[in-house]
Amino acid sequence: MNKKEMIKIYKEKLQVISNREYEKNQIVLIGDCLIENLDIGKHYNGLSIYNNGISGDTTELLISTLYKRAIKYKPKKLFISIGSNSSSNFL
């Protein structure tokens, strides 16, 4: 997959997250592919968790999309995993 395709997929996923109906005071996860590919049902069965991870994410991108992916959800708990793509300029 080339960089142009990755950017397109990133923007599409961000759009889905931004337009999703949500319930406040839940758990929100944000970060890169480590978060996006986390099997929530297997590891956190029964909890209401919004997985807002996006593969290819960098620290800079996460900061610029923080409101759409976390703050507007007014989470009870927020877990962030970021940095694995920051030195590679992945996107």
User: Tell me: the pLDDT tens digits for 51-71?
Assistant: 999 998 889 999 999 999 999
Which amino acid, residue 26? Q
Exposed / middle / buried, residue 50 (Cβ in 10 Å: 0-12, 13-18, 19+): buried
What the chain holds in terms of domains, given with CATH numbers, is: 3-81 (3.40.50.1110)
Q: Which residues in 11-88 belong to E strands, given as ranges? A: 27-31, 49-51, 77-81
Q: Is the dihedral of CA 58, 62, 63, 64 positive or negative?
A: positive
pTM of the model: 0.86
Parts of the chain with a pLDDT under 70: 86-91
- pLDDT score, position 16: 96
Maximum alpha-carbon separation in the chain: 37
**pLDDT for the residue 31:** 94
